[in-house]
Structure 1
Amino acid sequence: MAVPSPFPSLKAGLRAEALAARRAYAASLAPEMRTGLQEKLAEIVLPHLLAAKIVAAYHPLKDEISPCPILEKLGAGQRAALPWFLDRDSRMIWREAPAVAPSPWGVLQPAPAAEALAPDIVLVPLVLADRTGVRIGHGKGHYDRALAHLREGGTRIFTIGLAWEPQIADSPLPADPWDVPLDAIATPKEWIACR
């Protein structure tokens, strides 16, 4: 039985406001400016991935900052993984990139035959986050469940939230008991060590 959030209306309001702000910010960027910011994000994140064997990322939604420039610059021997779902109710796992098949939501994901991988670093999308690593996502809990499952199985992972600068909250955000905090956050302007 699912335990309800102690902050449902507060988090829903913050999510709606942050999604609107993210949409407006992304729409304000000229294509070359957006590309430049995503390249700067890659420059900030890549030094933190040097020891990683498997880097998990995501196939970006229209207004999310893209991890693609990071994945394109992974070093020799490093593998990229992307989220994969059997159906809408299944737990998210990661399969080896590229994203070539529609997911249950229509977003591209790896082919069902792609190798399932346990990442050591996960680049996490977000709607809003604070500087302590509390993250508000789209509200489905896919990342929290998948990350908790990996850690319960003994997999050591490091999580990095990727965001546009306006997605970083100045004040603390509410966290539910099951929310998995981020270890770090990166924007095109800064690296934020959270833990």
Structure 2
Amino acid sequence: MDETRIWQTIDSERAATADLLAGLTDAQWTHPSLCDGWTVREVAAHLSLAPRMRVRDALGAFVRARGSFNRMIDQTARAEARRPTGELVAELRGIVGSRKLAPSQTLGNALMDVMVHSQDIALPLGIERHMPVDAAVVAADDLWRIGFPFHARRRLAGHRLVATDADWSAGEGAEISGPIEALVMVLAGRTATIPRLSGITA
């Protein structure tokens, strides 16, 4: 995928996720997501906040988190999640068309982030969403390449991951195979899609 198509996919994923969120009940907003310790509300807040954060805001948040990136992400999402649900949906819709990345974020990171977090919301609620296959390949490459914070290569050492619906594979060893979108979620440290894969158990 070229840069234009990646941005178009990010836009469509953000718009579709905003539509999904707009139709949720109050109980669904408080349902646990696939992100440890976050409900749907915190995930939605994180998705709407990232591209709106300026460098100086990120630096301030990093200091308040005492130098922990993960703590910074958690604290900023929880603070943003205090806003009304309608505002969170509106903010997510408002960044459709934006070409601004969060500080230190790459375009591949941004694509992966919105697709994984959309599934973090949908899967626990029993809502069927599918990743575009070509975009899922880009996300899988990104997750395999980067170390922190997912450490996919370390966690999945000794395995060869093979997509059954796309021309994608990575690693060496015992084979884990299945749909590329299920592999993306496992690469991101989620276990919800493991039943869709062969060669791996929870």
TM-score after normalising by structure 1: 0.32
TM-score after normalising by structure 2: 0.31
Greater RCO, CA 8 A, separation 6+: 1
Structure (1/2) with the larger strand percentage: 1
Structure (1/2) with the larger helix percentage: 2
